[in-house]
Amino acid sequence: MVIIPAIDIIDGKCVRLTQGDYTHVKRYDAYPLDLALRYQDAGLKHLHVVDLDGAKAGRIVNYKVLEELCTRTTLHIDFGGGLQSDHDLHIAFECGAQQITGGSIAVKNRELFLSWLHQFGGERIILGADARNEKIAISGWQETTELSITDFIADYVQAGIQYCICTDIAKDGMMQGASHDLYIRIMERVPTLRLIASGGVSTMNDLEQCASNNLYGAIIGKALYEGAITLDDLRSFP
């Protein structure tokens, strides 16, 4: 299973939100590049970067940070947050992102998102499926729809999606464990999907459980910032 540390960005700095609430922002001293280089030095290969300013604004904002991360590390970077147009997409790829994650756009403009999928393929376009009470949430988690998360994911798998990052907003930043039951149900529905767990991964046991449920990957955010999971722990993870 792929271990994917997360860097969330506001004003060019590393932050963490609690349950997606922009009024509960915890800012960290580490700069994104410094943190990314630490992850690289520890042997990690992937990085999940979220432009929280962009998610709120509906357009890419922190592209210069993305470019720095892509040009000064060897990490495989997927990027999301505010990608709402072809222009945003091309900026992300030109900055060096290997993959992009589309969440709100997949709900608000299905035709455009499918055009990205057909143009760049399932290897480069990740579906972002963020949910509150198993209903899809969009616009930086500020709006909850009536779309069932399992139906939403299954529909896009039929359309050609190979990768999906699934975040249970209720778990995000809470350090109370991941939504393993939800991930099991998703995998039962679409067993070919490369599903990436996000939100609440806070112990090595969480990672082991994600791996045993045949998930493709797991994103770790606050647990790394707070030391609940250490880079030494990850070095010994199979």
Catalytic residues: 8, 130
3-state secondary structure of 154: helix
- Angle, helix 149-159 to helix 180-189, in steps of 10 degrees: 40
Q: How far apart are CA 129 and CA 14, in angstroms?
A: 22
Q: How far apart are CA 228 and CA 79, in angstroms?
A: 25
Q: How far apart are the first and last CA of the chain?
A: 8
Q: Are strands 217-220 and 194-198 parallel, antiparallel or unpaired?
A: parallel
Q: Can you spell out the DSSP letters for 15-58?
A: EEEETTEEEEEEE-SS-HHHHHHHHHHTT--EEEEEEHHHHHHT
For Cα atoms 9, 15, 20, give the angle at the middle one, nearest 5 degrees. Answer: 90
Burial class (CB in 10 A: 0-12, 13-18, 19+), 43: exposed
